[in-house]
Each structure stands twice: as C-alpha cells, then as structure tokens.
Structure 1
C-alpha cells in the first residue's frame, strides 16, 4: 500500500483539494435539521439538493478533505448506459444537472461532453444494447446506432473489422470528479449549508425524535489522521450517511448490515500517443469515451495519451472490516498481470497505443454492492436515518441520487420508484463474507452480458428450502430470490444447464422450451410450484384488525377467508401487496412478495409501532423461515389433494361448499398440518399449502407420488410468470410500485373507497394518469418481450412494458405495461420496440385467459 497524496493533483480528475480551505473557521453547529456524513460527490450532492428542496439547517461533515475518498481517484466517466429503469433516471438527472452548475456557482465542473461509444463484438452484445435502448427510449435518453464502417470513418484510429456495431450517446462524456464535487459544495453553501472538514462521527444515538451524533475533531500527525481529543454532540432530526469506503464502520456504529464493501479498480494512463496528437492537431475533436464491452474496458483521452480502465476478473474486495486509520488518499500496488488481457485488447482496438509507454497508474478502492446498485434510502429498523452507500459509479449517480433522495426525505416519496435501490432489499442475513464475494462478482460482471434471465453463481446455494435437493434431482435450475434458491425451470436431469450461458439469451434461451412444457402441463393437468420464499408475517393483538383496516385498501376478510389488498405510500401509489388470511378475529397471516421480505417487514413494523397507542396493542412476527409453501394448481389439483387429505368426508372436503374460493382452512395432508389457502397465482383451480418447514420433504414426496397418475409436473418461476400474465395478475416490483396507484393499476375491486385508509386522499388526488394493460405481442419468432420495452403509437413513446413473456393460451408473446388512459381500451393497436425494431402490440381485455374465472371456481 503506498501513499500518493503528494502527487494527487497530477491524477486525472483530481482538481485542487486546497480550495476546501475557504470553509475553515466555521463554528460547528450543535443542532441541525439534517446532518450529511461524507464529503465526496454523493454527500455534497445530497446536501446541495436538501437545501435546494427548501431545508435549512443542513450540515455536512467530512472526516478528512472533501473528495479524499474514492472521488479523488475516480476517472470521472458519466455513462448513461444502465439496465435499470430507476438508475437510468438517476444518471439522466446527473448529466443534465452537471451542465448547469457553472452558471449557478461560477465553478467549472470540467464536463467534457465528448459522447460515449459502446462497441459490440457479437450479435448477443448488440441484443443487449437493443434491450437497453428500449429502456433508454422510455426515459428520453438520446442515442445513435453506428456500424463498424461509420465508426472507422469517424474515428480512424480505431480498429473495427471485428465489431458488429455500437451504440453512441452524444450527450454524455466525462467530468472532473473533484471539480464537480466542489461545485456542488459551493452550490450547497450558497443555499445555507454548513460544510465542515476533519470531523469524524464516532457514535449515533436515537433520542426518540432526533439523533444525537458524537463527533471528534481529527488532526494530522505524521501523515495520518488521529483524534485530537476535541469532541462534540450534534443533534440532528435526520442523518444521511454517504461514507463510501467507510460503510462497514458506519454499519457497526448503527448496529445494522450494510453490504457495501470496496473492490480494487485499476486504471492506467499512457504517455502521449503521437498518432492521437497528430489527429487532434488536424483539428479533429476529442474521441468519445470508448467502451469495448466484450473486452471489458473503457478508454478515454488524457493529455494526448489514453486512460485504460479494465473490469477484469480476480479483483479483490478490500477493507471488509473497515478502512485502516492510516489509509487516506492512498492507493494499492498495481497488479499489471491481472489486467494484461485487457491491456492487450486495448492495443488491438487502438493499434497506435502499442508504441506508447505507461505514464501513471492507479489502483484504488471503489465501493460495490452484491447487485452493483447503490443502497439509497431508509436504513432498516431506524428512524430518520438514510443511507447513500455502495456507489460503484458514484460520479455518474451523485447528482441524481441527491435529487431523488432529497425528494424521499422532504416529500416522503421520490418521483421515481426507488425500491430497486432501497437498502432494505437485503435482509439481516447478509454477512461480510457474502457481501465481499458478491461484490467481487458484481465488479467483474460490469461488462459481462447482462442477460435478463442471468443468474450469477457466487455464494450459492446459501438459503435452501428442505426440498432443494429433491427438486435439484428432478432437474431444477435455480434462481435466487432474497438469498433463497427457487426453481426457475426444470431442465433435463441428464444435461444440467445451471449457470450455462448457452441456456440464456436476449431471445428465447435454452430454458424456454422447458418453461413452455411446464406452463402447458399446469393448464392441462397440474403443476407444483415451490413458493417457500414468500414473505410471511403474523400480526395479532387487540389493535390488529383496526390497524389493518386503516393500513390497507380492501375490506378485511372474515375469519377463515382471505383477501388481496394493498398498502399505499404517502403519494397514494402502491407500497406493498398483501394476501391477508384472517386466522381469528384479531389474528392475521400476511403474505407478500419473497424478494421484498426485509423491505416489507421494516415498513410494516414501523407502521405497527406508530399506531400502537392509537389502535391498541399488537404483536408482529416475521415467520418467513418457519413455513414452506407449495402452490398446487391445475384442473387435476383437487384430485391430487383428495387422495391425501385426512377428513371425515374426503370426497367433499375440497368442494366449493366446504372449501370455497378465497377461503383458508387448516387441513391435514398425510402427517402434515397445512394451512391451505384456496387461491392460485396461475388462474387455475388450486391451493397454496403453507406447512411447517421441517415437514416439507414428507409433504413434497406425498404430493409427487399422489400427482404422478394425474400428470403432475414441477413448475418453475418463469412458467408461473407467463401464466399470471395470461390472467393479468399484477406483480409487485413490476406492475405495482411507486409509479402507479391501485386505481391506475386497474385494481379498483381491491380498493374499498367507502372506508378511510392510509394514502386514500393522495390516491384520489392523483386521478388516472396512466392505465395498466395486457397486450398480445406479434413479435419476432425467436424472442419475447422482457418487460423493459417502449410502447409506441404514431412513432411516439406512449408507455412502457413492465412484464413480458410467452402465452401458451394465445400461442404468442404476451406482456403487461402502462399506457395513456385513452390508449387502454381493448383492441387498441400499438407498437413495441424489440431488438431494435417495432412490432405489433394489441391491447387485450383483462384476464385474456378465462376472463370469467370459471376454471378457478370449478366444483368437485
């Protein structure tokens, strides 16, 4: 480990750290509305946007110098490209904001709008670009397509004969990280924010309605920062942590898990390239930021030479248990052998670079998370504590992250759905080892093809239901949901395809035929689905009923019945979807999406705590791991269960009279006590069988034995996803979330407007801005929509898809999405962007398969 602080100003994008001294001498305030901890690009952006949103008494603390974390050694790239809809909005806001900062602050942020050329060496990579472009189109991000000959003509220093094409963003480029941070800091200060350096947070204490934050003044001694002995307590209504590489220390101080751990990232700077200098001397413009995704690197010009930044395999996680006190604006030793392949591929792509030497090198820590997205939003289990951690592309995201987090804090909701970035998408089961290994994987996957059906292998299997090995023996190919292994599909037992990229594609991958067979089997006979990952909570006590009546939109079910209902956020849009089973007058079993267990649990627990005094005592228990769930569905499902049920009159035990649709009963299947719920997410006759997890294998074996004569087939999540779209069943995280109210989602029947409930007034005030629709897609013969594509009418974007797949009932592609209300009528003809072309899309009536629900209600 070596200290390079002395040569820091020579590094690309460093700027002048000395300009921070203008803030020396400010008295440390003892009370503030919001305290931002961390003085990098993200922290300064948050402080700036909180002040811009109208909050006064905002203070930012930095333990060292502004930009002394990862900001100082960042390459400053601003790529629009991102496969996430929410992150696309964040990047778009950043890029637009940075272009306005000089006019506001007088400081030039060093934004070089040179564009961004992302090259592809394969058809699969071009498919990735086409899928991304469909999402970018819904956000309004400008882009152009380029052929290899066009690239060569425009930038003759590039070798292009082995390229398939490229996508070019003309409006992004790169920026000086320190300069944009200083501009944001100055803008914040102009709006009343206090910025203090050399203060370290050493403790957080929640005082019931505000935070007491203990801080220590830091002093420089022998090149290190050490506590000076001067301490102070700051009282803050809100705290935001943007501590970058120090996230593990922050996690310990708060007593929570934050799976943000740095990974080494290297980049090198070459000596001047004579060919490049000659090119520029002829009056040609600067090259765009170049990305050869298949070669796993980015390259941009730097003072007549080139910067190469690879995303190689084998980059290690660092500071798993915290950053050493001696580490400041420091770097790690370069490991050239690790990036040799990427270096040689740069020479291949830019032949003139072969003759130039290396001028400088950087190997610094960049924070990652297991999925590569930042942790932006409320801290789990804590009040008024906000996290802004794990920014692997911090300069690109800083502006937008500050903007949308400020909205979340000030208004209670952001203008976009932030669930995919919420820190609570990871539960408390996350360990340091898991985060470190998954973060290394996320780093090396930056340029690995982002198949929508990809399943990354690191740290798996980890959380497994008891029947995992049984399903694996039947050919199950697993996906991971909140750490749980869940079958995506069942492939041939003698030819495993797990984690085989040949089984994946941006078109119909190797798994497609297996999912189709599973969907057909469930429609024609019966299917068994492992749904054990569902989030499950028990709520009981004298206040439970009145609380849930206020908390959710639908009427509460009677004892022994169930309903589907929604909890709303402050903006009146969907925050969570619940299936509620009423076990007793004041005892309820709540089932929600498995991917959002910690997210739902935190939201529900905080609401229960807030309303205890008003509604009465309640006790909430997360029982997710206590109960497994099998979903048995299909026209033969009653026959299968009838052979197992232990009842005085088994012939009628499962009839509509004794066990009607949307009811729940405690039954016995063989030796297993089961809470059986008459509901099926696939739109067929069926039951959810909630059972003690420790008895799961016995129940699985009995069901498979009883189902064999009836054609029972195990079914994975992908076939289930297709089947639920045939019924127009909305899913949380796709159709349901911050972007639409339940009325806009077409869920009026689950909203009792005759009662008062949380978010009702906001919901009604929204009106109907958009409508959820189901569409038949007559697209390419080898591809289905993924749920990220743009919908068009008259060549204009009028909506977007949220889900997609194949319908065995229609014999065609199917999708769900949102369009303007006037385009939502069945029969409306639209177009959908798939694989770079537009294809016919026709709006269908809701529930195109069995719209009368006759198959669900079929009697014995």
Structure 2
C-alpha cells in the first residue's frame, strides 16, 4: 500500500471512483482511493440508477450531460459493460403548469445543447399503449438517457482508473486528517470483518497526500468533525419497490416492442421503469425522515431500512392509475435506503472552507447521474485551478457557520419531498424559517412583506396587500407573472418616480486594515483603489482571470477598507479573501480581516425624492447641504447622523436612481426604520423588495454576481473594461488578457408573451442558430416590456442586433440595447438641487 501520493480520494462509491478516474485522466499519475468497505457499498449499491437530464441549474445540467455521454464510452475503454440501458426518459405532465415548468427547463437545456422532444398524450399512447394518457397534457421526452447499473458503472470507472495508474485500496478507513502546512497526513485504519460487522483493526498507516478529496457519502457527518468544518449532507430515506411480472408488459415485449422509457409521473411524485417483465416504482413522498444525523452506526453496512408502505400508498395507487395492467402484479422486492441530500438539492463540490488542498464531493441525491460529470469538472478545478463551467452554485461554502445539524436535517427532508413538487423560479420553501432575521423583520412583515431566503437571511421579495388571504404568497407562485408581479411593478415605479426603501442587511461586509492592506487590495482586485472617503466597484479574479467576487470597496483611511459584496456568498467570499491574505501577508505586511456582516444593518433608499426624506432626519450645522453634490458627491462615503443613529452613508444605488446605502449599527435598526418611515410618509415612500430591485438594476445593465458575473467569464467578457486598470499588476491579469473575449454580456429588451417575463435561464437564437443564453430576466417599468441580460457571441453584441429568446416553447423578438438603456448618462443618479 502506498503511503505517499499526490491525491487521495476517500470514498469508493460512484462519485469517488469517478473523481479518481478523472484525476488520472487529467494527468495526475499518483492517485489513490480508499474505501472503508467494498466499492459501491454505500448508497451506490441500492441506487435505482436513473440518469435524468432534468435540472434547472446551468452547471448541473452540464454535469449530467457529461455523465450520460461519458458512461457510453466506458465499455470501449475498459471492456466492462456499464449496464447503460438507453431507453429514454418520459417526463409526463398532468397540468398546464407542469408543462410551463418543462418549457422553462427545455429552454435551459437548449443552452447546454441537451436534446429533447415534446410528445402529446396521443403520441404517448400510440407508442406505449400500457400507459394511461387521458388525463395528461403532454410530456417532455429525452431519448438519449435512461438508466444504468450503479455497481457496473462504478466497477467500469474503477477499472479505467486502475488502467491509468490509480491505486484502489478497500477495507481502509480514514480516521484522522492533519495539515502540516505543506501537505496532508491521513491516518488510515485497516477494517476487518467481525460477527458480520466491519470493525477497526490495530493496523494503521499514515498516508501523505498533497491533495485530499472526501466523497464519503452517508458518512459525511463523520468526516466533517475530523476536518473541523460543517457539511450539510445528511441522508434521507428513499423507497422503491420491485414488482412481479406484468403479463401485459411481457406480452408487449414479446411482440417485439422496445423497452419502455423511464416513466416519470411528476404530479404523482413517482418514477417507473421496467425490470425483467415487471416494474420498479420509486417515489419522493412527504415525511421521509433524515437518518444518520450524527454519523452512520458501525453496524450499518450495505443495509436497508424497514419498508414503510403506508407512506407511499398514494404513489402506489397513482402508479396503478397510470399503468392499469400492473394492478395484479405482486410485490417482489423492496428497497428503503439512505440517499444523501443537501438543503437545496445540489451537491457540495469544491474546496473545503478554511482548508488548503482539501476538496469536498458530498451530498449527492442523484449521485449516479452526477458522478461522471463531477469527477470531470472537479478534476479541472484541482489540476487546472478552475473548471470550464462556473461551479459556484455547487461550492460547499454556500452555507456558512450558522448552519447546524438540525437545520440541515430538516431542510434535507424538505428537499427530498420537493423533488417532484413544481420548481417555480419564485418558489420559497418554508422549512426552518424564519431563522436569520434583521431587527426590522417584524415591522416589515406587519407591512405585508413576503420574504425570500438568502444565505439563511429573510429578505423581502415584495410587499403584498395586508388584506390578502393567508395563502396569497403560495398562490402567487407561477412560471408566468405571478400574483406578486403587480406589487413589484408598483414598487419599481415608486423608485423611478418617488422614493423607495429596501432592506439590504444581508449584504456581506468585511473590514480590512493594517500596513499591508492597501498593497494587498491593489494586487487582489483589478480596478484602481478609491481615495479616502470614496468608493469603487471592482473585482477579485480567479487565477484564470475570470470573476471570483464583486466588491464595492469603501476606503475609510489610508490602510482601512470596508468591503461590501453579495449577501448570498458570505462564507464563499470570506474564504477566498482570507486565503489570499495568508498567501500574500509575508510579501505585503500585516493585514487584519474581519467579517462584520452581522454587525451592520443596511437600508438602501433611492428615488428622486430620497434626498428630501433624509434631509428631514440629518443632524448637522447645515443640514440642508449635507447631502448635496458638493458635500456628498456620487461614489463617496460620509459618516452622518440621522436622528440619534450614526450612519455610514454610501452614495450609490443599485437601482440607478439618486440614492444612498445607509449602513448602521444593527442594534439601532428598528429606531432608524421608524424614523425613515415617518420622514418618508409625506413623500409617499414605499417599501420595496428584491424582485423590483432586480428589474431596476437590469434597466441600468448592472451585472450581478452569480448571474452575469462568475468564474466562467472574465470582466472583459462581462463588458466591464471601465472597472479594470490594465496599467497595474493584479491577480489573474495575464490570463485575463490572454483569454480574449469569447462571448460578451449584453442587455436586451424583449417583446415577450403578454403574461410572462424571462427568468434568466432562456436560450437565445439568431435566425436558426443558437448564439447565447440569458443570465437574468424580468420586467422593465421604464420601457413597458420584458428585459433580460445575457451572453452572446462578440460579433452580435452590438446595439440594434435582433435576436430571438425562447419562452414557453416559442421564440420571441428581442433587441440588444445600449448598455444602461435607462439613463445612460447617469444624470438621475447624480441629480442635485
């Protein structure tokens, strides 16, 4: 057994095996995999092996697409049949709303080149007469996927890995991880059989590894404390049953018909596929419990839980309704095993928080589908420093230290139960909420706030009517313009025409200071640093020159800076910032970095009347001039007093109107809210939520991190040359300049359907050619039509270019506009009296 390797993979399921294979495929010739039991002995062995393309995430769609294509090549490479039955996948809809969901997904799939076709109920019945179709609206059909044998595909990847030099060691358990400052020392213990259990022996080795990947599956809660981190990957029970032969199915196949596709009856929360003349029924029911919240018992190996038929009775009856011929088939076998989940359903893939060269690949609820692509793209991250797609949506640091075991378990149960619940783009899931609230939460709720969830924070999405029924928010969700739409329109108009107040407390905030702070930030970010008392928008880049983080930098002193970034990415930003400081402090000098997110509340006030509201509260010898352009110019910061509240006011507005961000001691938030509300009353000030703000920022072509800005595009491709100072040296500069402009960010005005706006997931066409995708979408109150932002080939990124955007399975006219179509000269944001 080797005791010194370049990369050690811990976990021998489909995911871990794929990672080992792809690291070797990428050129690392010294890779080892440890498995505490036998390969596939975790969730892999009892997985149903389905390979669904369906996913609303751009990154995850690419991962699934790679897996499906990769698995088809394994037999030629290894000589082992991976057991891939390319029977297709039929995703049926009982409602028009479900068809709306499929149409949104289909447009997203097109952006990744994923093939699909539509089928009518009559077409389904003609091809597969055993399926009842009289209550269906239609279906989405993927003919290129199907199902695979999880054990076979894992063994094929393992053989491919061995052929490329990977050492695979079974019955070895990782028991301790120690970072020496240059490499990892992993203590591994030999596991032995004893009374049917797997127990540690006295034999131990210490393995030295430059990189470690944990793909420990159900054992993630054992892994996390050994690494000193939190991993919100906890298994949930998943049940499926195998039925005896269906005589009608046997006859159908005997007549020469091909195997049925995987049949997904999403509105019945179930999937069905053929199995040796019978059927397999799998369900995603309500009330499936989380298991192993504090670790897997030593006695649990390739084991299962007791089947709970009562819990899936409704889905079983729905299957009989859908395939009546199966009613007399008996129960042949049953499976109820642990499948790992995360709170949002996406796996945790990427660098571990706070650790060097430690990589996580945990929390795979669709592990067989994702295994191949995860190995491929994680290997790119590890070997090349970045993947060709933006992996931020899967990054383990999207959950901060506020996350607890109880939170993860309850949210994972909710996520499981939502697998087949309609995935509205405006959905808000209720479990574990409210949890993180700003002090003004109750006040805003009393005024009709309908809250969204951002990194655990409750943030108003919009303010609905106070006299609405309790079900208003739920009923408002839609793939089209939901019930909330009219309220967001009024909020957007209030900012354009009068004044609005937005709670932006969730913003991430860091304080950076010390003798090395200025030199470090000058290297870390690509724009000029602001002068004292001024602010600047800038970007921290990846080693590949793409956008890693967007910052508003507020310079408080010669060597003191206040950094503001996106609220959804606090731990993600903090980890990258702190690791960069650790790397460069010996060169630049002492630097302090403090996460002060929860110390400062933020209200953003904006609109042509915003100065009037604040003037009523300013305490100063000359209050009428405090907020003037002369004393307080655009893109500057001042410490002011609003009544009894000290405020760090920043003259900037994400909405593109005259406005200020009011950063205040969070313990004074309710006092400040009351004062602002009282002062704003005579000016008609309206409380405004995130949805209206999102529309307004698109009218100004303000890019957002996580949509337009990410690790798959440079700031030059985002068309932001004014925020890049190429006269200085900065991290990622060489790759930024060498990459060129592969695609370019544009803003489009869209003549879309009368009852729907784009969501930012849609494909763009120029004639018959697919030329790009939207990354944001919404409605423009300034132009009275839909608006969107996205990426197209550089030759098309010219104002006036006519394109088509696919919405609701139709192509709609869109035109590229000039950057910042609303107030392109920024006259309104600079307005003075």
* TM-score, L = length of structure 1: 0.97
CA distance in 2: counterparts of 1:89 and 1:349, whole angstroms: 31
Corresponding residue number in structure 2 for 1:823: 796
Deviation at 1:501, TM superposition (A): 2.9
Matched, 1:96 2:69: yes
Task: Work out which of the residue numbers 418, 439, 442 in structure 2 matches 1:445.
Answer: 418
Task: Work out which of the residue numbers 135, 152, 155 in structure 1 matches 2:125.
Answer: 152
Q: Is the 8 A contact 1:41 1:394 kept in 2?
A: yes
CA distance in 2: counterparts of 1:271 and 1:189, whole angstroms: 39
Structure 2 matches for 1:724-735, cutoff 5 A? 724-735=697-708
CA distance in 2: counterparts of 1:413 and 1:777, whole angstroms: 34
Corresponding residue number in structure 2 for 1:530: 503
Where does structure 2 lack aligned partners over 5 or more consecutive residues?
Answer: none
Task: Work out which of the residue numbers 619, 635, 638 in structure 1 matches 2:608.
Answer: 635
Matched, 1:573 2:527: no
Q: Detail structure 1 runs of 4+ shifted over 6 Å in the superposition.
A: none
Corresponding residue number in structure 2 for 1:121: 94
Structure 2 matches for 1:170-569, cutoff 5 A? 170-495=143-468, 500-569=473-542
Task: Work out which of the residue numbers 534, 543, 560 in structure 2 matches 1:587.
Answer: 560
Task: Work out which of the residue numbers 607, 620, 631 in structure 2 matches 1:647.
Answer: 620
Deviation at 1:497, TM superposition (A): 5.6
Listed one character per residue, the Cα deviations across residues 97-126 of structure 1 (whole Å, up to 9, x for unaligned) are 000000000000000000000000000000
CA distance in 1: counterparts of 2:134 and 2:473, whole angstroms: 29
CA distance in 1: counterparts of 2:749 and 2:280, whole angstroms: 47
Listed one character per residue, the Cα deviations across residues 547-575 of structure 1 (whole Å, up to 9, x for unaligned) are 00000011000000000000110111100
Task: Work out which of the residue numbers 687, 690, 695 in structure 2 matches 1:714.
Answer: 687
Deviation at 1:223, TM superposition (A): 0.4
SS at match of 2:320: helix
CA distance in 2: counterparts of 1:311 and 1:654, whole angstroms: 56
Q: Is the 8 A contact 1:475 1:496 kept in 2?
A: no
SS at match of 1:276: helix
Structure 2 matches for 1:753-764, cutoff 5 A? 753-764=726-737
Q: Is the 8 A contact 1:457 1:499 kept in 2?
A: no
CA distance in 2: counterparts of 1:91 and 1:499, whole angstroms: 36
Q: Is the 8 A contact 1:491 1:497 kept in 2?
A: no
CA distance in 1: counterparts of 2:384 and 2:471, whole angstroms: 44
Corresponding residue number in structure 2 for 1:796: 769
Corresponding residue number in structure 1 for 2:41: 68
Deviation at 1:499, TM superposition (A): 7.5
Matched, 1:786 2:728: no
CA distance in 1: counterparts of 2:289 and 2:374, whole angstroms: 27
Q: Is the 8 A contact 1:451 1:506 kept in 2?
A: yes
SS at match of 1:339: helix
CA distance in 1: counterparts of 2:622 and 2:206, whole angstroms: 70
Corresponding residue number in structure 2 for 1:832: 805
CA distance in 2: counterparts of 1:454 and 1:602, whole angstroms: 29
Task: Work out which of the residue numbers 155, 160, 165 in structure 1 matches 2:138.
Answer: 165
SS at match of 2:83: coil
CA distance in 1: counterparts of 2:510 and 2:406, whole angstroms: 28
Deviation at 1:769, TM superposition (A): 1.0
* TM-score, L = length of structure 2: 1.00
Q: Is the 8 A contact 1:662 1:679 kept in 2?
A: yes
SS at match of 1:376: strand
Where does structure 1 lack aligned partners over 5 or more consecutive residues?
Answer: 1-27
Listed one character per residue, the Cα deviations across residues 387-429 of structure 1 (whole Å, up to 9, x for unaligned) are 0000000000000000000000000000100000000000011
Corresponding residue number in structure 1 for 2:593: 620
SS at match of 1:549: helix
CA distance in 2: counterparts of 1:743 and 1:389, whole angstroms: 34
Deviation at 1:498, TM superposition (A): 6.7
Corresponding residue number in structure 2 for 1:3: none
Change (3 A) 1:477 1:765: same
Q: Is the 8 A contact 1:456 1:499 kept in 2?
A: no
Structure 2 matches for 1:14-93, cutoff 5 A? 28-93=1-66
Change (3 A) 1:498 1:205: farther
CA distance in 2: counterparts of 1:380 and 1:254, whole angstroms: 10
Corresponding residue number in structure 2 for 1:23: none
CA distance in 2: counterparts of 1:750 and 1:212, whole angstroms: 43
Deviation at 1:493, TM superposition (A): 1.1
SS at match of 2:675: helix
CA distance in 1: counterparts of 2:680 and 2:246, whole angstroms: 70
Change (3 A) 1:204 1:554: same
Matched, 1:684 2:657: yes
Deviation at 1:500, TM superposition (A): 3.7
CA distance in 2: counterparts of 1:433 and 1:118, whole angstroms: 34
Change (3 A) 1:769 1:145: same
CA RMSD of aligned residues (A): 0.6
